[in-house]
Amino acid sequence: RYTDPATGADVLPTIRAEFHRITRGTETAPFRETGSSVYQVFDGSGTVTVGDRTWSVTRGDLFTVPSWTPFSARSEAGVTDSDSGALDLFRFGDAPIFEALRLHRSTTDEDPR
């Protein structure tokens, strides 16, 4: 997560910026939250599942995750398509808005609410 070093708060008051590295062969647990997100595949390749749709992604691809839609990603990066050997995702999300309004919620399959 990118933060203001002086305050520890998000870099922008309305946008959260994060970098996620998913190591080769790893899959994230399905996650959902009240905010929406835009992801860019910075490096590597893999598959993403948004809701009930799954597709392959590779460097440069963009995709969105609407509010409260389950999301998971699996790294299938190989040594020839990734400098890090991982699926690297850059994420922009609007969670700070929901947090400021005290409306933010999130859950994983391990933590149903």
Residue-level pLDDT at 47: 98
Kindly report, residue by residue over 22-42, the tens digit of the pLDDT.
999 999 999 999 999 999 999
Asked if residue 113 is part of any domain, the answer here is no
Asked if residue 66 is part of any domain, the answer here is yes
Average pLDDT over residues 71-88: 89
Asked if residue 10 is part of any domain, the answer here is no
State the CB neighbour count (10 A cutoff) for residue 7. 7
Residue-level pLDDT at 112: 47
Average pLDDT over residues 63-82: 92
Number of domains in the chain: 1
Asked if residue 36 is part of any domain, the answer here is yes
Kindly report, residue by residue over 2-20, the tens digit of the pLDDT.
998 999 999 899 999 999 9
Asked if residue 50 is part of any domain, the answer here is yes
Asked if residue 57 is part of any domain, the answer here is yes
> Domain range for residue 60?
16-103
Percent of the chain topping pLDDT 70? 96
Asked if residue 78 is part of any domain, the answer here is yes
CATH of the domain at 38: 2.60.120.10
